[in-house]
A and B are shown apart, each in its own frame.
Chain A
Amino acid sequence: QLQLQESGPGLVKPSETLSLTCSVSGGSISSSISYWGWIRQSPGRGLEWIGNIHYSGRTYYNPSLRSRVTLSVDTSKNQFSLNLNSVTAADTAVYYCVRGVVPAAYSFHHWGQGTLVIVSS
């Protein structure tokens, strides 16, 4: 059974870069039908999609975050990563890594357990 696990710092200083990694187990990140992504949820608020990436490198980003976000894939480690730069307190949230399946890769069939990232000095 496919499982996703987020890892990374739980505390990031304002103006710095938030970096998270998602480890994929029970399946290959090089699956042609899979898109790998990130979704965040601020405390007490709803869901916000950050972006998706295919193992080929094709990416889709939330237009409101595009200028600050970079997604990448490491097929040798079966992992994918999120970098969000110039963070502020508004980026404090639980970050989930997810898997979508084509053709509707915006339906997220698998979710990690989530990791809380706090932006504070």
Chain B
Amino acid sequence: QSVLTQPPSVSAAPGQKVTISCSGSNSNIGNNFVSWYQQLPGTAPKLLIYDNDKRPSGIPDRFSGSKSGTSATLGITGLQTGDEADYYCGTWDSGLNVVFGGGTKLTVL
């Protein structure tokens, strides 16, 4: 059971937009920055979004992040088959712990 709650899977057609939610509490998302990671099959996770809505250099602006209260959302526009991956949210928890969501598998139909 993960501290942060994500949908197990989402899907959309190429070119469409998809959003992935991440729900937490005041002890984690509500008072800390949220990050998002993309894990392509057989590879290490890669940082997509940090500080709720910032993109590291090299991450296309098709990827966006937002936070409201105790929830965060990752948005991906112009879906490509290469976006098929597992996506994880993460943040700090007041229990002195880095916590992650259980991951969301994105399928591009």
A interface residues, Cβ below 8 angstroms from B: 46-49, 52, 60, 62-64, 96, 104, 106-114
Contact = CB atoms under 8 A, between A and B. Distances in A.
Contact of A46 (B2, B35, B95, B96): B2
Interface string B78-109: 00000000001011100111111111000000
B103 A62 contact: no
B63 interface: no
Contact of A111 (B44, B97, B101): B44
B46 A111 contact: yes
B32 A47 contact: no
A114 B44 contact: yes
B102 A49 contact: no
Contacts, number: 63
Contacts of B47: 107-111
B38 to A, nearest CB: 11
Given A46-B100, A62-B98, A63-B96, A112 B33 contact: no
B35 A47 contact: no
Contact of B50 (A46, A109, A112): A109
26 contacts: A46-B88, A46-B100, A46-B102, A47-B37, A48-B100, A49-B100, A62-B97, A63-B95, A63-B97, A104-B32, A104-B35, A104-B50, A104-B51, A104-B92, A106-B33, A106-B35, A106-B90, A106-B91, A106-B92, A106-B98, A107-B33, A107-B47, A108-B37, A111-B45, A111-B46, A112-B44
